[in-house]
Amino acid sequence: MRVGRWAAVSFVGALGLAGAAWQTGFAKEAAAAVARSGQADWMTAKGYLPKDALDGVALLGPPPTTQSLTGQADQAHFEETRSLAGSPRWTLAARDADLRAGVVQRFSCAVGARIGADTPRLTKLLVKLQYDVRDTGDPPKNHYARPRPLVGNDKPICVKRESWMISNASYPSGHSMIGWSWAMVLSEIAPDRAETLMENGRDFGESRAICGVHYESDVEAGRLLASAMVAREHADPAFKADLAAAKLELARARKGPAPEACEVYSAK
């Protein structure tokens, strides 16, 4: 069984990688906090949900065919967004593509607080959501095996072309699931920031289509599956306990230093 590429790089160890131009000090603090939570092994670590909690294959149904109106719109969107190459929005899509760097900064900026060492329960919650994305999103991705839009052409994409992009399927988008689930949960924790958070969740997923590594319908499918996943999370006692603790942590963190370099997320 193929493992989703988006599930192969963990928010856990990845935040500690140095050298990314946009990585800031609080990202390194977050990496340390996550490591202390004991959630460092991406492929064996568990989320809140059992792996069969949701049937993503049945919930989503198959992706649109190339001949369908939606499939034609997907292709047209891919063609149209190639013109964004080199633009600020293209650069932001490349940043969003790397789960090793920008995701925590984006959502720290959106919620108005540094997510990291001072928010260990919140950090743990967000990490475990990623594990649930892995377990919920991989089955439909592998079952439907939709080729990515970059396959069979040499048109520009916002990241380096690699061989895994040929074999790893497109539907649904795991990045979209991560962004949407984080936005939903953080909106519940900080409802006064809900509009900004949901905009960032939308934009984070949209970056995948702009980048050229997913179709627009892959991104939409990711949002649908993430919504069902987050709804299911609320039946889990451990999730609810972490959610309650995260609310207290975030309230304190929002009184501390503001996140850095947030202006980059205004790119359109």
Q: Where are the domains of the chain?
A: 5-266
CA distances from 84 to 81, 152, 158, 183, 220 (A): 5, 20, 9, 25, 21
Q: How far apart are CA 181 and CA 228, in angstroms?
A: 9
Give the global pTM: 0.87
Answer yes or no: are the C-beta atoms of 10 and 130 closer than 8 Å. Answer: yes
Summarize pLDDT for 57-86 with one digit per residue, the tens. Answer: 999 999 999 999 999 999 999 999 999 999
Both tokens of 129, joined, read 């959501």
The predicted model gives 196-211 an average pLDDT of 97
Summarize pLDDT for 123-172 with one digit per residue, the tens. Answer: 999 999 999 999 999 999 999 999 999 999 999 999 999 999 998 999 99
Q: Please give the residue that has the higher pLDDT: either 239 or 19.
A: 239
Smallest CA-to-CA distance from 222 within 30, 3, 2, 6 is with 6
Q: Assign domain 5-266 one CATH number from 1.10.645.10, 3.50.50.60, 1.10.260.40, 1.20.144.10.
A: 1.20.144.10
Q: How many residues does the chain have?
A: 268
The answer, yes or no, to whether residue 37 has pLDDT greater than 60, is no
Distance between start and end Cα atoms, the chain: 37
Handedness of CA 23, 27, 29, 31 (dihedral sign): negative
Q: What is the pLDDT of residue 33?
A: 41
Smallest CA-to-CA distance from 140 within 259, 215, 58 is with 58
Question: Which residues are known catalytic residues?
Answer: 175, 208, 214, 218
Which DSSP category does 264 fall into? G
DSSP 3-state of 133: helix
DSSP 3-state of 260: coil
Answer yes or no: are the C-beta atoms of 179 and 134 closer than 8 Å. Answer: no
Q: How far apart are CA 182 and CA 164, in angstroms?
A: 26
> Which stretches of the chain are assigned E, i.e. beta strand?
none
Q: How far apart are CA 229 and CA 49, in angstroms?
A: 9
Mean pLDDT of all residues in the chain? 86
CA distances from 226 to 14, 22, 135, 158, 182 (A): 22, 27, 11, 24, 9
Q: Would you tell me the crossing angle of helices 194-211 and 102-111 to the nearest 10 degrees? A: 150
Locate tokens 């198959």: which residue?
62
The predicted model gives 37-50 an average pLDDT of 69
